[in-house]
Structure 1
Amino acid sequence: MSVRYGLDGQVAVITGAANGFGLAVAQRLADEGARLVLVDRDADGLRAAAEKLGGLAVVADVSQESEVDGYVQEAVNAHGRIDLFFNNAGIEGRMAPMTELSVEDFDRVWRVNGRGVFMGLRAVLKVMKPQGSGVIVNTASMAAIKGAATFSPYIASKHAVLGLTKSAALEGAPYGIRINCVAPGHFDTRMGRDLTHQINPDDPDGVFRAVSESVPYGKRYGTAAEVANVVLWLFSDESEYVSGALHLIDGALNAG
């Protein structure tokens, strides 16, 4: 039975809601009785999520300024406010050495993971500041605290999410707004499986097994539900004094 965090009736906007972490968080928020605004560019996946969980479904590309402002406005039009924002949508991009990447390879990742997070923060803070309340959780990654060869656009974008989180937390604090980010390690999601294929298309299962063995806690990939557990705590009053922080969810992988 899930923990009750007192989020009944709160308006929650979730980007990347059609699958992975977004869908898992949306499920938990639905269980809590929150009023959902589900955002994704995957219209079919979004429709399925909305049919299962209820709430307002908004098809939007977070890399487009007008569409970001649009999903925020639709949430306000429907509910008059935004209490919770899971600023989660992201892509992995292509893995290759810098010398083999195009500028467009970089820009494609940056438009979603960097600019998209910034534009989401900007639009939602404009709603939350007059309210004098609100909680935002951004999705970073363990890539926000380390480098990785052949993964530079993603690494750069997630470092940016951490910096945006800290800056936004300072701007939001005088208005009673808390802002944190979660930093997942290796998770068994669509993105996680795509990376195993990119690393070794001939033996992605072998990559999966090797990565699992590298995780100190449990020798396994995490589940999206385990990220949702942390996000729900950050949304709740139990984390009242927590803001501007990065929360690793990685089975102790980066503890050494």
Structure 2
Amino acid sequence: MSVKYGLDGQVAVVTGAANGFGLAVATRLADESAKLVLVDRDEQALKAAAEKLGGLAVVADVSQESEVDGYVAAAVEAHGRIDLFFNNAGIEGRMAPMTELSVADFDRVWAVNARGVFMGLRAVLKVMKPQGSGVIVNTASMAAIKGAATFSPYIASKHAVLGLTKSAALEAAPYGIRVNCVAPGHIDTRMARDLTAQIDPADPDGVFRAVSESVPYGKRYGTAAEVANLVMWLLSDESEYVSGALHLIDGGLNAG
């Protein structure tokens, strides 16, 4: 049974809401009777999520400034305010050594994972500051605290999310707004499965099993629902004194 946090009636914007972490958090927020604004560029999957959970569906590409401003404007038009923001949308990009990546490969990942997070923060903080309240959770990754060969655009983008989180937390604190980020490790999502296929197209299941064995706690991948548990706590008043921090959820993988 999920913990209840008393978020009923609060206006919650979730990007990347059609699947993965976004859908898991949106599902929990719907259970709390929050007023949902669901954002994703996958129109079909977003429509299905909105039909199941309720709320306002806004098709948007978070790498585009006008579309970021548009989903924030749609939330304010519908509800007059934004209380909670899960700034989550992201992509993995292509895995390859730096010498084999194009600038376009880098820019594609950076546009969504870093610039999109920045633009979301900027637009939502403009709404939250006059309110004098609000809570924001960004999706980083354990990639925010370590490097990885053949994954440089993603690693750089998630380091950027951590930096943006810390800066935003300091700017927002005088207005009663908290900003944190979650840093998932190996979580069983569509993105994780795509990465195993990139690592070894001939045996992605073998990669999945090997990665599972590397996790100290349970020798398994985590679930999107487990990430949602952490996000919900950070969005709630239970984490009232927590801001500007990276919160790992990785089964102890980075404990050593």
TM-score normalized with structure 1 length: 1.00
Paired AA for residue 31 in structure 1: D
User: CA offsets, 1:1-28, max 9 Å, x none?
Assistant: 2111010000000000000000000000
2:186 alignment partner in structure 1? 186
Task: Tell me, in whole angstroms, the C-alpha distance in 2 between the residues paired with 1:76 and 1:147.
Answer: 38
Task: Tell me, in whole angstroms, the C-alpha distance in 2 between the residues paired with 1:4 and 1:144.
Answer: 30
1:92 alignment partner in structure 2? 92
Secondary structure at 1:39's aligned position in 2?
strand
Equivalences for residues 1-150 of structure 1 within 5 A: 1-150=1-150
The total of aligned residue pairs comes to 256
Percent identity, aligned pairs only, is 90
- Please list every run of 5 or more consecutive structure 1 residues that lacks an aligned counterpart in the other structure: none
Task: Tell me, in whole angstroms, the C-alpha distance in 1 between the residues paired with 2:180 and 2:127.
Answer: 18
Task: Tell me, in whole angstroms, the C-alpha distance in 1 between the residues paired with 2:9 and 2:170.
Answer: 27
TM-score normalized with structure 2 length: 1.00
Deviation at 1:99, TM superposition (A): 0.1
Task: Tell me, in whole angstroms, the C-alpha distance in 2 between the residues paired with 1:64 and 1:232.
Answer: 27
Task: Tell me, in whole angstroms, the C-alpha distance in 2 between the residues paired with 1:21 and 1:64.
Answer: 21
User: CA offsets, 1:204-238, max 9 Å, x none?
Assistant: 00000000000000000000000000000001111
Task: Tell me, in whole angstroms, the C-alpha distance in 2 between the residues paired with 1:209 and 1:78.
Answer: 45
Task: Tell me, in whole angstroms, the C-alpha distance in 1 between the residues paired with 2:166 and 2:95.
Answer: 28
Secondary structure at 1:74's aligned position in 2?
helix
- Cα RMSD of the aligned pairs, angstroms, is 0.3
Runs of 4+ with >4 A deviation: none
Task: Tell me, in whole angstroms, the C-alpha distance in 1 between the residues paired with 2:6 and 2:31.
Answer: 11
Task: Tell me, in whole angstroms, the C-alpha distance in 1 between the residues paired with 2:70 and 2:132.
Answer: 22
Task: Tell me, in whole angstroms, the C-alpha distance in 2 between the residues paired with 1:61 and 1:207.
Answer: 31
